Amino acid sequence: MVLVRAGHEIGDSPIEPEATAGPARPTFSFELWPPRSPAAEEALQAHLARLVAVHPDFISVTYGANGSSRDGSLAVLRHLVENTDVPPMAHFTAVGSTFADASQLLREFMD
């Protein structure tokens, strides 16, 4: 398969190859929802190692509207940071939050 951009084969551009070089493969990730019950927490822990083993580029953790899963999201993010080498990505929703609330929550996610 040959990739074409504006009539040129990729790599056949006057632009330096380093400037346009992308990853050798598509970005691959998983998106997780925070568990809402002890059974779901147990299932997540049981399967997380299998997800990490396939070496995704990152694992996204959702955040419910109006903070409905805030504590669960933070717990999953912390677990990923402390126990895996896969970068976590927080899916942050600011809908229904004041500027001050959103700023405070972002600081918590960054810690």
Residue 31 a catalytic site member: yes
Give the β-pairing of 4-5 and 8-9: antiparallel
- DSSP assignments along 33-73, one per residue: PPPSSHHHHHHHHHHHHHHHHT--SEEEE---GGGTTHHHH
Which residues lie closer than 8 Å to 36 by C-beta, 6 or more apart?
69, 72
| Residue of 31, 42, 82, 108 marked active site | 31
Which residues are marked as active site? 31
